[in-house]
Structures are given as C-alpha cells and as structure tokens.
A and B are shown apart, each in its own frame.
Chain A
Amino acid sequence: MFRLGLSSVVALRLLAAGAMVLSDDPAVFAAENPTWQPAPMERLVKLPASYLKKSLDQDFAQSPLGQAIRDSENQIGLKAQTMADLQNAVGSAAGDVGMELRHQFLAEKKAYVALMSGKNALRKKHLETKAKLFERMLERMGQDKEGASAGRQELIVQQQQARTRFAASLSKVDLQVFATSAAPESRYAAEYGKNMTAIEQLAQAISAHPMSDSATRDGQPMSRQDAVRAMLGEAQADLALIQQEESMLGYMAKLVSLDAMALADEAMDVARAESDVPDAVNPAGAVSFFVSR
C-alpha cells in the first residue's frame, strides 16, 4: 500500500502546470543568450563556393552558440538515457516505489522537453543568422553584378571584342612580324608560350582538386551565387523543420501535463480510499446515531 502525501499531489499539479507553460516558452533554456557572429561578409563573398559552407560550419562550431548547442545535445543524450532507465524501472515496480518512479519519469520527461525546446531555440538562432547572412551575400553579389555602371559595362564589352579580334589575328601577326624577320623572337614571345603551357597544367590541377571552386549540384557545376542560394534554401528548410519539431514538443508537453494530472488524480483516489475519515458525511449516514439510544 502506498501513501502519497498532499505535498506530492501538489508537486504533480505543479508539474502538470509547468509542462503546459513549457510548451509556450521554448527559449527557457537559452537564457544565457550565446551568439554567433559570422566572419565579415567581404571575406566570405570571395571564398570559393565549395569552401564557403565548410568555413561557415567551422566558424560556427567555434562560436559560443555552437558550443551551447553541443552542450545541449550532450545533456539531451544523457536525459534520454535516464528516461529509458526510468521507463524500465516503472514497468517492474509497484506500490509507493512505482508511484515515486512514475513521478520521477514525468519530471524527467518534462526536463527532456525543456532541453529540446532550448536546443531548438539555439538552432533557430543559428539558422536565422545563417539565412540572414546568405540573404545579405546574395544582395551584395547582385549589387556587384548590377553595380557596374553603363560606362563600365561598355568598357568590358569593348575589351572582350578587342581580345576576340586579337585572338583571331594572332597567328597572322606572328607570321608576318616574327617568321619573316631575321631578328630573333622577343624574350616575352618566347617565354609566354612556355608559361602558358605551365599555366594550363596548373589550371587543370586546380579544377581537378577536390577543394576547388567547382561546387556542384546533381553533377552540374554551380556558380557562387547559385551555391549561396542553395545554402539559403537549406537553412530555410531547416527552419521549417524546427517549427514542426516545436509543434511536436508542444504535444509532448501536453502529454506530460495530462499524465501528471492523471497521476495526481490516482494519488488522490488512493489517499481517499485509505483515509480514516468516514466516507458518509451527509445526514443520511448519521441517522443510525440518532435512532438508537
């Protein structure tokens, strides 16, 4: 037979109320307010697309916010282990011990939901910072592209046309100036060809390097702008998933609250059944005292 005192029932009621409040306050465990300040955007926009993600991840991992998320994950792992142990223990215990273990199990579930909410608040902060950064980068890249004045754009076109025209006349000029002349080829002309061969080999090695600029998606090479847009999409997808997880945690908190109320009711029923106070406190139950002398 177990006896759950009034204080335990009050504790259960408070647990139920706490679990309900928890679902409305996901940032309760992010009270220390750790932050992540990404590297200056001027540096990030110059990084190769494939390296940008790694650089950001590494920068985040070293930040207070990244450390806080790792700590939170460790605590959640330990809490899940405790919950599994308690669940097993509750199944095999009875009486006062069983009731106490159920109480503890509920308290651990509440703490788990609180930890998860805290972690999600931190993750949300990380993803929002990342999404804002990508948006600003895209804006900046757009400005760079559109920022070229009409005069500059015209100049770039003229330079492209000049180089095309030059490439077309190159061999003819070589033939006429160098091949027909008695003078030796200039040092620049001689060295340029050799250097170009070396440069082409280096360029091939760079394009074949795993850390090279060529970010790809589905096997197709992506521009830096496309890569940033893809990373922004991933961050926004993660934010949407966090929102869904928050709903899930809300349901979990509600279940904890309902379980706590059920346990409190059960404890009250048992306490009432074992009470020495007479059950019938209405006048009809006391009639026998009056009819006999």
Chain B
Amino acid sequence: MRSWMKTLLVAKAALAVTLAAMPARAGAIENMERERAVLILAYLDPELQPGEREGRLETAKRRLVDLERMTLRDEGITGRNTPVVRRAFANYDLTFLVHAAIEKNLAVADQWMDQLGLTTQSLMSARHGRRW
C-alpha cells in the first residue's frame, strides 16, 4: 500500500474516533441524587449533634456543588429523553439544590423545604388525623 494511502487511512480512523469520542458519562445524575439524599439525611437525622451535623452538611454541600456542575456541564445528556434526565431537568430548583439555594440567598434546607411546599405556615396548620 502506498504511504499516502496509509496516511489517509490513519486520518480517517482518527476522524472516526473523534466523531465517536466522549460518550455520555453514565450515572452523573444518579450520583448527584445520591449525594443530595445524604445532605438531606444529614439535615433530618435526629441523632446528630449540631457540630457533627454542621460538618456533614458542609462536606455534602461542597461535594454536591461539584456533582451539580458535572451534571449541568455534561453534554452527553443533552436531549437524552429518559425518565431520569427528564425528571432531573423538570425542576431546576429541586435538582440543583445548592446552586438554586445560593442564587436565591436561601439556606439549602430552606430551599428544599420550599420546593416541597413545607412552609412554616403549612406546618403550623397541620394536624394529626386519618386520611380518607
């Protein structure tokens, strides 16, 4: 085979590799959701002492910031119409909890409860009873 043809084949192969490169990293959203669950558990865990809770929250928050960014920057999930991706982008304020909270000057816990509709007023007016 002539040398220029070999060069051409190599160039074609390189182009094909480029075109097929960077497959979507699987599980970015799942990892973020897992970390968010850890953060919320740290808020809700009655067993934790305030100092311990504070430390756990801070660590989880920093990790969650990174994971939220990874998800938002992931071009591989653009237009990927799966239930997980659809649900994640349906509500920015709940999915990207830390970024949304800081954007609105709220504590992360307040932002989460706000998104779930748990206001002081609604909690105060709640009462025990059987749901029919």
Q: Which residues in A have some Cβ–Cβ distance to B below 8 Å?
A: 46-47, 51, 58, 148-149, 151-152, 155-156, 158-159, 161-163, 165-166, 168-169, 172-173, 176-178, 181, 183, 186, 188-189, 192
Contacts and interface: CB of A to CB of B under 8 A. Distances in A.
A176 B102 contact: yes
Interface of B: 8, 15, 19, 58, 61-63, 65-66, 68-70, 72-73, 77-81, 85-86, 89-90, 92, 96, 98-100, 102-103
A149 B103 contact: no
Max chain B CB contacts within 10 Å: which of A51, A162, A181, A186? A162
Q: Which 8 A-B pairs rank lowest in CB-CB distance, beginning with the nearest? A: A169-B103, A158-B89, A152-B81, A188-B66, A166-B72, A173-B102, A156-B79, A162-B92
Contacts of B99: 165-166, 169, 173
A148 B70 contact: no
A83 B102 CA distance: 86
A177 B81 contact: no
A161 B92 contact: yes
18 contacts: A46-B19, A151-B81, A152-B81, A155-B86, A155-B89, A156-B78, A156-B79, A159-B77, A162-B92, A165-B92, A169-B99, A169-B100, A169-B103, A177-B102, A183-B62, A186-B65, A188-B69, A192-B69
Given A173-B98, A177-B102, A189-B66, 9 more contacts: A152-B81, A165-B99, A166-B68, A166-B96, A172-B102, A177-B62, A178-B62, A186-B66, A188-B69
B81 A159 contact: no
A213 B69 CA distance: 29
Nearest to B20: A46
Contacts of B73: 163
A50 B73 CA distance: 29
A172 B101 CA distance: 11
Contacts, number: 74
Contacts of A158: 89-90, 92
Contacts of A181: 58, 62
A183 B55 CA distance: 11
Q: Most chain-B CB neighbours within 10 Å: which of A156, A159, A186? A: A159
Given A166-B96, A173-B99, A188-B70, A149 B81 contact: yes
A58 B11 CA distance: 14
A148 B81 CA distance: 10
Nearest to B65: A177
Contacts of A188: 66, 69-70
Contacts of B70: 188
Nearest to B103: A169
Contacts of A46: 19
Contacts of B98: 173, 177
B60 to A, nearest CB: 12
A186 B69 CA distance: 12
B82 to A, nearest CB: 9
A288 B78 CA distance: 112
A162 B69 CA distance: 11
Nearest to A175: B102
Nearest to A206: B18
Contact of A186 (B58, B62, B89, B100): B62
B61 A177 contact: yes
